[in-house]
Structure 1
């Protein structure tokens, strides 16, 4: 999308969210600047001495859109969480209180800001730090204003953490779940241990939403008992399949190097030995890139163009295979709460014409067969209350518009205590989600 169009949409969002004035919090209202110290834990006790979800710092500020302050007050929390390698880490979440003072329900909204630059996180955009990648988080304020106007509390975590570990699903989950814990523990948010939560996210936000729902029973049972369900669309399931699907696409091929950087960063692995000189050039150039730096910037890019000849098959790159297997939702636990999942299958509209054997087609970036397989797996092993929509004529962007209102309605029904509907038994079969097998170099 052209930047001028993004800004125009952000102005619309600013008008919408400005209609909802949140109650003022007790702490002094501040403003933020790039590189501010709020993001750094400076206490004398080691982070490991705090339980996940412990609030480390608090501030309140005006909710900004494109650097313009709105009447809405946001409460930002620095909290203790866990990274992809299981190490203690500090992260930031933003909370907007219900305009009705309702403490009974909250939506944890996971942004699709999809970036390798920590400066593009939702909390920074909300605080007024304007970056190109941050315009995505600003644009999402249109949907968030609807939640506010219906009286929900909002919790908006920086799902990728402070290193911007793009696509690292398990880390997205811990950042999300500990964000909810922090929101409950803070005396300024109005929430408490009885507050019910719904998880919501599209695309990159669906990574966090699904992984959080999947890991909650084990990692955060205190949060899981208050979850009413998860609503997601455009879901990344098996990244190895996605790489083969978008290979050579006109728009989405730029996510190939983004995913390689994110996975290598989050798990501390080195993928550069598999790359040729051009691959290293692309890899190094996108180290702090956002989705807006990748989409359409590398039309026709393939794995084979960036890999050394002996690694023309990505399954021969041992470190890569081991990493993508760690973030394959097909190997993750099954959520214990109901879910609504939507997926498009009109990827040709966004310039993805691939139809690899055993993988098939998708919405341009996400693989429809993988999502069907995940939904069927949840039906077979979990709650069985899974609602599934496949929009065969819609692309990734188009499906988002169809998904959002239904996701809101679905979550509202869960908050109201209505039984969750189920499409189980009627969802077409999908792909195998078995882990990738390592092949020898050619």
Structure 2
């Protein structure tokens, strides 16, 4: 693959941005079914059970042209079906995409975690790259704006379908295993040009930050050989304590639709049924979004609250034992501390997106993620012995505004880690935030 091919990809990206910007913001239709639903590449059909293979084992390989909005580009992509582990510890299969370095250098790579945020596997980045068209998949197309500069800097790219083939939105631990096993697979495949010595940086925003942070946190125990090759993680717009986020976006004009999306994705990941606690309206919303994406949720449920979704006796979400169990499992405040340097960015201008500017006990945020939670997590990492944490807060930017500023800073920060420069630290300078203590159940009314 040549630099000319990547420049052609960049040129195509300009057209993509023009075509997709309006639909992503305004479309109301649910994500349609796609031809890839029957694509045999996504299914493991071997005679041996998946449990017979180690996590990260490559099960299938295919090479294709990288697509933007369904149109092929001159860039070649390699897709791998690999063995991984779901949130319940069961073996599963997932897909990742690799784009090889322009220089043929297999020594460095960036694992980029997409913010495709969907409850439909048809919206995963591998599907968009393979040429599938779906409304939710438009996000993966737009994200090429972050990938082209990395290619031009000589990195290999690894782009996992972080949510897995069930699209379990917001289930951080499952995002982590999908990401870490994607790196394992990429370095075990002869087709990628990478190997066990390839160093990796982790990068992701929003939903991609969930995968990035959880992967960094779980790597020492789940994939120690991968952890030894990680140079650092760069992320922005991070979900830390989901119970806080529910209260923060409750009644929001734009982001309240994320509440049912998270309920569906996380309960699906852990095999927990929350439907018995939902009101008739809550069940109606559940059914509409069960296979929808973020574009089906944003702005479509203005003013939506937990109380509108739940039966009257469950007006307090902590009166639902299954809810308490789930949110505590995916609270990053209770997860291990990453052993690698980190750059964490967070917006704090959420009032611009119709979210209350200051929630009692929670404070402010970017419209969907809470700045106080992210600050506390960064301080927690520093206090636990990771002195290489950089925290940057953008007080005037909302969740959709931060990526424009964050992306080049994240790439520069990762570049310094690959060059072996000492990681900067904001430990001792990060303002205090919120308590990240686990939620406690309360009796139903």
- TM-score interval, smaller chain: over 0.9
Name the count of aligned residue pairs: 419
Shift of residue 11, structure 1, vs aligned partner:
3.9
Partner of 2:351: 348
Indicate whether 1:254 and 2:257 are aligned: yes
Structure 1 contact 109–200 (Cα < 8 Å) conserved: yes
> In structure 1, how many angstroms separate the alpha carbons of the residues matched to 2:382 and 2:268?
33
Look up the SS of the partner of 2:409 in the other structure.
Answer: helix
Partner of residue 281 from structure 2, selected from 278, 283, 287: 278
Partner of 1:221: 224
Shift of residue 48, structure 1, vs aligned partner:
0.4
Indicate whether 1:377 and 2:405 are aligned: no
The TM-score with structure 2 as length reference comes to 0.93
> In structure 2, how many angstroms separate the alpha carbons of the residues matched to 1:203 and 1:145?
19
Partner of 1:59: 62
Partner of 1:125: 128
> In structure 2, how many angstroms separate the alpha carbons of the residues matched to 1:301 and 1:56?
43
C-alpha offsets along residues 213-247 of structure 1, whole Å, 9 cap, x if unaligned? Answer: 00000000010000000000000000000000000
Structure 1 contact 13–142 (Cα < 8 Å) conserved: no
Partner of 1:12: 14
Shift of residue 402, structure 1, vs aligned partner:
1.2
Structure 2 contact 343–413 (Cα < 8 Å) conserved: yes
> In structure 2, how many angstroms separate the alpha carbons of the residues matched to 1:392 and 1:181?
38
Structure 2's unaligned 5+ residue stretches are 1-9, 18-34
Structure 1's unaligned 5+ residue stretches are 1-7, 16-31
Partner of 1:113: 116
Partner of 1:244: 247
Partner of residue 193 from structure 1, selected from 192, 196, 207: 196
> In structure 2, how many angstroms separate the alpha carbons of the residues matched to 1:9 and 1:211?
34
Shift of residue 273, structure 1, vs aligned partner:
1.3
> In structure 2, how many angstroms separate the alpha carbons of the residues matched to 1:403 and 1:13?
23
Partner of residue 167 from structure 2, selected from 156, 164, 169: 164
Partner of 2:76: 73
> In structure 2, how many angstroms separate the alpha carbons of the residues matched to 1:11 and 1:200?
20
C-alpha offsets along residues 35-76 of structure 1, whole Å, 9 cap, x if unaligned? Answer: 200000000001001000000000000000100000000000
C-alpha offsets along residues 237-285 of structure 1, whole Å, 9 cap, x if unaligned? Answer: 0000000000000000000000000011100011011111100000111
Greater shift after overlay, 60-69 or 304-313? 304-313
Structure 2 contact 283–309 (Cα < 8 Å) conserved: yes
Instruction: Say if 1:231 and 1:400 are closer, same or farther in 2 by CA, change over 3 A.
Output: same
> In structure 2, how many angstroms separate the alpha carbons of the residues matched to 1:210 and 1:306?
30
Look up the SS of the partner of 2:38 in the other structure.
Answer: coil
Shift of residue 13, structure 1, vs aligned partner:
6.7
Shift of residue 354, structure 1, vs aligned partner:
5.1
Partner of 2:236: 233
> In structure 2, how many angstroms separate the alpha carbons of the residues matched to 1:364 and 1:413?
31
Instruction: Say if 1:33 and 1:86 are closer, same or farther in 2 by CA, change over 3 A.
Output: closer
> In structure 1, how many angstroms separate the alpha carbons of the residues matched to 2:276 and 2:94?
31
Look up the SS of the partner of 1:92 in the other structure.
Answer: strand
Partner of residue 41 from structure 1, selected from 35, 39, 44: 44
Partner of residue 359 from structure 1, selected from 350, 359, 362: 362
The alignment's C-alpha RMSD in Å is 1.4
Partner of residue 441 from structure 1, selected from 425, 439, 444: 444
Instruction: Say if 1:13 and 1:34 are closer, same or farther in 2 by CA, change over 3 A.
Output: farther
Look up the SS of the partner of 2:238 in the other structure.
Answer: coil
Structure 2 contact 202–234 (Cα < 8 Å) conserved: yes
Indicate whether 1:301 and 2:317 are aligned: no
Partner of residue 185 from structure 2, selected from 182, 193, 216: 182
C-alpha offsets along residues 138-183 of structure 1, whole Å, 9 cap, x if unaligned? Answer: 0000110110011100000000000000000000000000000000
Structure 1 contact 13–141 (Cα < 8 Å) conserved: no
The TM-score with structure 1 as length reference comes to 0.93
Partner of 2:412: 409
Indicate whether 1:95 and 2:94 are aligned: no
Instruction: Say if 1:241 and 1:10 are closer, same or farther in 2 by CA, change over 3 A.
Output: farther
> In structure 1, how many angstroms separate the alpha carbons of the residues matched to 2:225 and 2:329?
25
> In structure 1, how many angstroms separate the alpha carbons of the residues matched to 2:193 and 2:222?
24
Partner of residue 206 from structure 1, selected from 202, 209, 212: 209
Structure 1 contact 247–354 (Cα < 8 Å) conserved: no
